[in-house]
């Protein structure tokens, strides 16, 4: 993505958050991350986020998904320093999020991964989060999530976030861009 596209998505995300009563400072607006995971398919596979705090002990973020946008399957493995992988709680603030984690496969899940990438998705235990509901994803657990028909806001509360250590099922994905 070029700088102009990133700026356009940052404005879009700022407006989605503001429409929900979440106001960002000027610095935070500039820090909105637009993650296309190197796939150049942001409308179907991507994630927009703002990190408020990320220390050695804890992290707080707001994740924004565009309508029907999918964050691809990944897990947060144990760290090289011996720390466990990231433990994260997702709290749906607006919209609906379809979260898929390891466990018994849900028969006839509501959402599906992007058709062209389906082969890279392996977990289909469905958890549906409406606004006000939350779910905690254990460390080192494969998961992916998708928005419903409208933009979705998820607050993430977690242990330290270390994007470089995330492991994606799709080998084409680059979480941290060069």
Q: What is the pLDDT along the chain (178 residues), one digit of tens a residue?
A: 899 999 999 999 999 999 999 999 999 999 999 999 999 999 999 999 999 999 999 999 999 999 999 999 999 999 888 888 999 999 999 999 999 999 999 999 999 999 999 999 999 999 999 999 999 999 999 999 999 999 999 999 999 998 888 999 999 998 765 4
Enumerate the domain spans of the chain. 50-168
Residues 160/85, Cβ–Cβ less than 8 Å: no
Within a 10 A sphere around the Cβ of 160, how many other Cβ atoms?
Answer: 15
pLDDT in the model for residue 52: 98
pLDDT in the model for residue 178: 46
CATH number for 50-168: choose from 2.60.120.10, 3.90.950.10, 3.10.20.600, 1.20.1730.10. 2.60.120.10
Give the CA distances from residue 162 to residues 59, 84, 87, 176, in Å, rounded to whole numbers and listed in that order.
10, 11, 11, 10
pLDDT in the model for residue 176: 62
**Spatial CA neighbour of 51 closest among 30, 72, 32, 26:** 32
Structure tokens at 100: 């898929």
pLDDT in the model for residue 48: 98
Identify the helix (H) or strand (E) that includes residue 158: strand 152-158
pTM over 0.85: yes
């Amino acid at each position: 993505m070029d700088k102009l596209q990133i700026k356009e998505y940052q404005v879009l995300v700022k407006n989605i958050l503001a429409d929900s009563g979440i106001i960002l400072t000027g610095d935070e607006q500039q820090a909105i991350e637009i993650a296309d995971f190197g796939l150049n398919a942001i409308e179907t596979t991507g994630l927009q986020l703002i990190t408020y705090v990320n220390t050695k002990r804890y992290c707080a973020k707001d994740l924004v998904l565009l309508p029907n946008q999918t964050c691809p399957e990944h897990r947060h493995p144990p760290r090289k320093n011996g720390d466990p992988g990231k433990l994260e709680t997702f709290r749906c603030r607006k919209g609906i999020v379809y979260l898929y984690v390891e466990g018994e496969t849900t028969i006839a899940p509501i959402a599906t991964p992007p058709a062209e990438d389906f082969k890279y998705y392996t977990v289909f235990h469905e958890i549906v989060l409406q606004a006000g509901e939350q779910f905690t994803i254990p460390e080192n657990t494969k998961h992916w999530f998708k928005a419903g028909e409208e933009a979705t806001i998820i607050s993430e509360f977690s242990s330290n976030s270390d994007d470089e250590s995330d492991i994606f099922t799709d080998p084409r994905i680059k979480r941290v861009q060069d």
